[in-house]
Amino acid sequence: MTIHDWLTLPEGVKLDQLSAMKGGWFVGAFSPAACNSSDVEIAVQNFPAGYCGEYHYHKIATEVTLLLSGRACMAGIELKSGDIITLSPGTSTSFDALEDCTTVVVKLPGTLNDKYLDDVF
């Protein structure tokens, strides 16, 4: 039992846990979501060193990734902690964790089914 189990929330307040969200995505038009919105999607994600994601692109959404910690490679660019990379629609990338990493990813607009695998690389 945690302190939250005894907590009575004020009217208009909702409390969620990132661990209950799917893949770290906590804002978007999906379930579960702390805030359901088709305007934007937001995730906090952790990746172990050596993780290599699939090359993909978005036809509609712009993807903004903040590397909170670690080192990674996206779009052929080595990123360090604190770097923010913005990918326009149609820009292919993967996420390759060179070290253990934590990211904040924002996709806007929030567009479900807007991830296309790119096998060119």
Per-residue pLDDT of the chain (121 residues; tens, 9 = 90+): 455 666 788 899 888 999 999 999 999 999 999 999 999 999 999 999 999 999 999 999 999 999 999 999 999 999 999 999 999 999 999 999 999 999 999 999 999 899 999 875 4
- Look at residue 29 in the predicted model and tell me its pLDDT: 94
Cβ atoms of 23 and 87 within 8 Å: the answer is no
- Whose CA is closest to 67, among 89, 111, 99? 99
Q: How many CB atoms lie within 10 A of CB 84?
A: 11
- Look at residue 3 in the predicted model and tell me its pLDDT: 55
> Helix H segments across the chain?
none
Question: Cα(70)–Cα(30) distance, rounded to whole angstroms?
Answer: 28
Instruction: Note the pTM of the prediction, 2 decimals.
Output: 0.88
* 3-state SS class at 20: helix
List the structure tokens of 46.
């952790």
List the structure tokens of 68.
């909170």
- Look at residue 1 in the predicted model and tell me its pLDDT: 44
Question: Cα(87)–Cα(34) distance, rounded to whole angstroms?
Answer: 25
